Structure 1
Amino acid sequence: MQEARRTNRSLVTVGLLFALFVGALDTTVVSTAMPHIMGELKGLALVSWIFTIYTLATCVTTPIFGKLADLFGRKSVFVWGLALFVLGSILCGAAQTMPQLIIFRAIQGIGAGALTPVTFTIIGDLYPGEQRGRVQGVFASVWSVAALLGPLVGGYFVDVVTWRWIFYMNVPVGIIAFGLVVGALHEPFEKKTKSIDYAGALTFTIGITALLYALLSGGIHYSWSSGVEIGLLVLALVFLLAFIGIEKRAPEPMLPLDLFRSRRMTLLYVMAFLAFCVVSGVSIYIPMWIQTLLGRSATSSGLTLMPMSLAWPFAANLSGRLMYRLGPKTFVVTGAAFVAGGSLWLAFVSTASPYWFLAGVLILIGFGMGCMTTPAMVLIQTSVTASRRGVATSTNSLMNAFGQTVGVAVFGALFNRYATDHAPEQLATGIHMVFLLLVGIALVNLLAVSLLPSAQSGGQEETSR
């Protein structure tokens, strides 16, 4: 306990904010530089892999790092993750060919798999009770700020210096985060022999990689009915079933299946999956509507998402401050209702709709997401013991990413079914069908969160499980 008291929470918090921000910014800033990267490195056929490999690496390693944080301490896992992310950034900036950049992006993605879940886990450890909700709300805002600044920062470096600095800029920020967290965080940790679930990690890695790659490449690189897609899905099924069998017997399972025996945890993970499905659809198809049907520029379509990026952090901070007074379920259900309302409003969009129509939709959905995500994170962390907080938090991050990936695949397949010739009428029909599906997903999400058990004062810390 004496060692724990020497932790400077303020310095650690600033360091974690730097780390989370640089990881979040990297997901948005790269898109801006893609034309220049392709112009210098060539390899147009490989360009999608710059994003795909990063997503795959992050999704696969997120739950693994979450479990390692429970076994070996948050600080050491965070440091290794940040070091890999910074190393990957240096290598990406120095890449001379497209294959090199793809490999180095994988290293970056592996490091990013530790940054988000371990950062939120450390915050869960440092801040108890009502303070946790407030601080988690601030950290949840980082993603929205990064979404706003990413295109601006990326555009500046590309125009003024070189695209390589979108990666090199991570180095000084990473060094600051490293120094603050390493110097100020002192966690009490019992050193004893650990049982590492190697078999679970291996089968999960193979299974989830095959599944995510099938989802990300289906209908783009390969037909959904092709032998490659079917083979990937069969491979995923076999290894994920093997993973479940291993987890049932492992003394320290990588992903404890009994997390899903709790109705609260299961519904919160379902919410994370469904809500981020909606976000992926909105983020892709509203800009597409503006560009392809209204004839606006890419910059204009990108700026259209700004109302959601502003409403989200506002609601995240508001819910973090008030959830202990009004109850977390109140905010989660209210947020889901806002998302459902915004999705329903979106279903009535037309080419004659004014800008404020889409802005109103995005404000509702952004506000709803902010109301949901912060209380959900606090509920998850207060529903397990401190020794399982890492894996519980990382599972939530995995469900967020998995929801976005599945959303991209499902919406893309639906859109392509109607927009076969890319005629304006077909494009409008395809996007409208996606918007209608968003309504259905948002309503299912609202039903799911309405079934959450009530929790007084944000839930009680569990002392056994």
Structure 2
Amino acid sequence: MNRKTNTINVTVSIFIATFLSAIEGTIVGTAMPKMVSDLGGIEMMSWVVSAYLMTLLITTPIYGKLADLFGRKIMFTVGILIFLTGSILCGVSQTMLQLIIFRAIQGLGAGALSSISFTIIGDIYPFEQRAKVQGWLSSVWGIAGIIGPLVGGVLVDYVSWRWVFYLNIPFGIVSIFLLSISLHEEFEKKKRYIDYGGIIAFTVAILSLLYILDRPWKSMISPMFLAVSILCLILFFIIERKSPEPLFPLHLFSIRSINVANLAIFLLGSVFIVISFHIPLWIQGVYGAGATYSGLVMMPISITWPLCSIMAGRLIPKAPLRFITLLGSIIVFIGCTGLALASVETPVWLFMIYTALIGAGMGFATTTYTVAVQSAMDWKLRGISVASFRFMQSLGQTIGITVFTTISMTQAAKYLHEHLSKQDASHINVSQIFNNDHSTSLSSSNIQSIKEAIAFGLHKEFFILSVIVLITCLVAIWMTQPKSSLENKEGNTKKAEVH
């Protein structure tokens, strides 16, 4: 007798897993200055984020495809176990290099949380319920956003930054348990073909691309990695055309709603990751506040995002998707423009208004794009369809944090070089303001120069982010409704029985 899926328990499990994935960004961002202070290596700071996003990026489509082949439950469980192992290792890191390596391991598991969670929601709910549940699921990001900065700030200020990683363990265990006893899938058991050639070509291409982004073009080796990336991408598409079970079925790229959603989430992902990690830098570096205070400044995002996600879930069955995504993008643009106009004298309450607007816009846009992608394909291809969407989001995040950290730090260093004497400029850098031992040895004028340098670098960055969001507004205009014919076929193609 076939067992039926317990929808409520599975949904709770997915919400917990989403909470783990969501809190990772906000809590680590709040703890970053203290990590740099304890472990050193500010020049490698972006890699604490990039290493995690890099492996998450590569594994997201792989998990999505494997979930289509072998089922959601087994691949989801494997992913969480790897994620928890990486979390424990991050907590015991003694150097910045160790932390970066262990964050990469964490990302290897996070790829499952990133893609399979949303795929399962698409499996067990029809379109109208899916929109509402997706709205509530997106609210988990908001809840994590509220709890993450505050808990992260308290842990950093009063316990240890290492506990921001240990915090993942109990939640991960509960999620695995609930899913293992509640999700029951039916799919044809036969020998599965795994696209190893496509996986290898794809991995090498993306790793080469990310290496180029993190290295100055004056390096002799950069052109070689660019050539490797291009050749591997060409090889990847050749393999995918001939593969019986391609990692990325190429016909996905002929579906307009998927293309629009993927491009938009790439741009929005790059914007939001930079804001999440660099507003705390402004609050702690420019205003001289603590980690807990910077968490409070980020809190409005965590309130408006879930509220607007829930509103989007209610609007999706009634309003054109184009309208909701465009509305969200315009609101994000207004918030980013406010940040671009900020200065050292900008009051904190204005920053909180800007972050509230960004959270609201992201809630409308990301929830709607997610439902559109979930609804574009049936069960057999929903895993890779959702994974491609999450891949583009992670790609945007990885490129965004790498490129914009380089931009802001380069601009800050340039400012110091131009405004300090040669003697001071030779031994003063931005990281000193985050370390109490070093900052106390600086003169008040040098401290002020460092604050102005940070503001100068981030100001340039926020302006570019505003332009990117403006492009996202134009992309949103091309959004289309999901095809109702796919929803009519849902009952015949879905592989999980639910009640």
TM-score in same-fold range (> 0.5):
yes
5+ residue gaps in structure 2? 420-448, 494-499
**Aligned-partner Cα distance in 1 for 2:55–2:384:** 17
Cα displacement (A) at 1:213: 3.2
Q: Deviations over 1:112-153 (max 9, x none)?
A: 111121011111101112111111112212223223322333
Q: Secondary structure at the match of 1:452?
A: coil
1:369-388 matched pairs, under 5 angstroms: 369-388=362-381
> Contact 2:335–2:358 at 8 Å: present in 1 too?
yes
Pair 250,401 (structure 1): closer, same or farther in 2 beyond 3 Å: same
**Aligned-partner Cα distance in 2 for 1:426–1:161:** 30
Cα displacement (A) at 1:36: 6.8
User: Please, which moves more after superposition, 46-55 or 134-143?
Assistant: 46-55
Partner residue in 2 for 1:446: 473
1:51-62 matched pairs, under 5 angstroms: 51-62=49-60
1:130-169 matched pairs, under 5 angstroms: 130-157=128-155, 163-169=161-167
Cα displacement (A) at 1:319: 0.6
Pair 166,368 (structure 1): closer, same or farther in 2 beyond 3 Å: closer
Give the counterpart letter for 2:459 in structure 1: H
Partner residue in 1 for 2:358: 365
Pair 74,456 (structure 1): closer, same or farther in 2 beyond 3 Å: closer
Structure with the greater relative contact order (CA < 8 A, sep ≥ 6): 1 or 2? 2
Partner residue in 2 for 1:303: 296
Matched, 1:269 2:262: yes
User: Please, which moves more after superposition, 289-298 or 7-16?
Assistant: 289-298
**Aligned-partner Cα distance in 2 for 1:358–1:97:** 33
1:78-157 matched pairs, under 5 angstroms: 78-94=76-92, 101-157=99-155
Q: 2:385 aligns with which of 371, 374, 392?
A: 392
Matched, 1:435 2:429: no
> Contact 2:150–2:296 at 8 Å: present in 1 too?
no
After superposition, the CA RMSD in angstroms is: 3.1
Give the counterpart letter for 2:170 in structure 1: P
Q: Secondary structure at the match of 2:244?
A: coil
> Contact 2:68–2:383 at 8 Å: present in 1 too?
yes
**Aligned positions, number:** 458
Give the counterpart letter for 2:246 in structure 1: P
> Contact 1:82–1:111 at 8 Å: present in 2 too?
yes
> Contact 2:135–2:310 at 8 Å: present in 1 too?
yes
Q: 1:241 aligns with which of 234, 238, 247?
A: 234
Cα displacement (A) at 1:382: 0.8
> Contact 2:153–2:295 at 8 Å: present in 1 too?
no
**Aligned-partner Cα distance in 2 for 1:335–1:134:** 17
**Aligned-partner Cα distance in 2 for 1:47–1:435:** 19
Q: 1:227 aligns with which of 220, 223, 226?
A: 220
Pair 462,372 (structure 1): closer, same or farther in 2 beyond 3 Å: farther
Pair 206,292 (structure 1): closer, same or farther in 2 beyond 3 Å: same
Q: 2:312 aligns with which of 316, 319, 324?
A: 319
**Aligned-partner Cα distance in 2 for 1:451–1:381:** 18
Give the counterpart letter for 1:79 in structure 2: T
**Aligned-partner Cα distance in 2 for 1:308–1:98:** 29
Cα displacement (A) at 1:430: 4.0
Pair 14,454 (structure 1): closer, same or farther in 2 beyond 3 Å: closer
> Contact 2:14–2:117 at 8 Å: present in 1 too?
yes
Q: 1:328 aligns with which of 315, 321, 324?
A: 321
Q: Secondary structure at the match of 2:136?
A: helix
Partner residue in 2 for 1:72: 70
**Aligned-partner Cα distance in 2 for 1:182–1:450:** 41
Cα displacement (A) at 1:74: 0.6
**Aligned-partner Cα distance in 1 for 2:26–2:485:** 32
Give the counterpart letter for 1:421 in structure 2: Y
User: Please, which moves more after superposition, 55-64 or 283-292?
Assistant: 283-292
Cα displacement (A) at 1:273: 0.8
Q: Secondary structure at the match of 1:326?
A: coil
**Aligned-partner Cα distance in 2 for 1:347–1:44:** 24
Pair 370,74 (structure 1): closer, same or farther in 2 beyond 3 Å: same
Matched, 1:421 2:412: no
**Aligned-partner Cα distance in 1 for 2:351–2:98:** 40
Cα displacement (A) at 1:27: 3.5
Pair 452,72 (structure 1): closer, same or farther in 2 beyond 3 Å: same
Partner residue in 1 for 2:427: none
Q: Secondary structure at the match of 2:318?
A: helix
> Contact 1:58–1:109 at 8 Å: present in 2 too?
yes
Pair 301,33 (structure 1): closer, same or farther in 2 beyond 3 Å: closer
Q: Secondary structure at the match of 1:421?
A: helix
**Aligned-partner Cα distance in 1 for 2:168–2:277:** 26
Cα displacement (A) at 1:391: 0.7
Pair 286,379 (structure 1): closer, same or farther in 2 beyond 3 Å: same
5+ residue gaps in structure 1? none
Partner residue in 2 for 1:3: 2
Cα displacement (A) at 1:86: 2.2
Q: Secondary structure at the match of 2:143?
A: helix
Cα displacement (A) at 1:342: 2.5
Cα displacement (A) at 1:233: 2.7
Q: Deviations over 1:154-196 (max 9, x none)?
A: 4555566655544333332222111110001111111112111
Partner residue in 2 for 1:15: 13
Cα displacement (A) at 1:409: 3.6
User: Please, which moves more after superposition, 180-189 or 38-47?
Assistant: 38-47
| TM-score, normalised with respect to structure 2 | 0.82
Partner residue in 1 for 2:332: 339
> Contact 1:313–1:370 at 8 Å: present in 2 too?
yes
Pair 74,228 (structure 1): closer, same or farther in 2 beyond 3 Å: same
> Contact 1:375–1:458 at 8 Å: present in 2 too?
no
Partner residue in 1 for 2:433: none
| TM-score, normalised with respect to structure 1 | 0.88
The percent identity for this pair of structures is 42
**Aligned-partner Cα distance in 1 for 2:12–2:299:** 25
Q: Secondary structure at the match of 1:325?
A: coil
Give the counterpart letter for 1:446 in structure 2: C
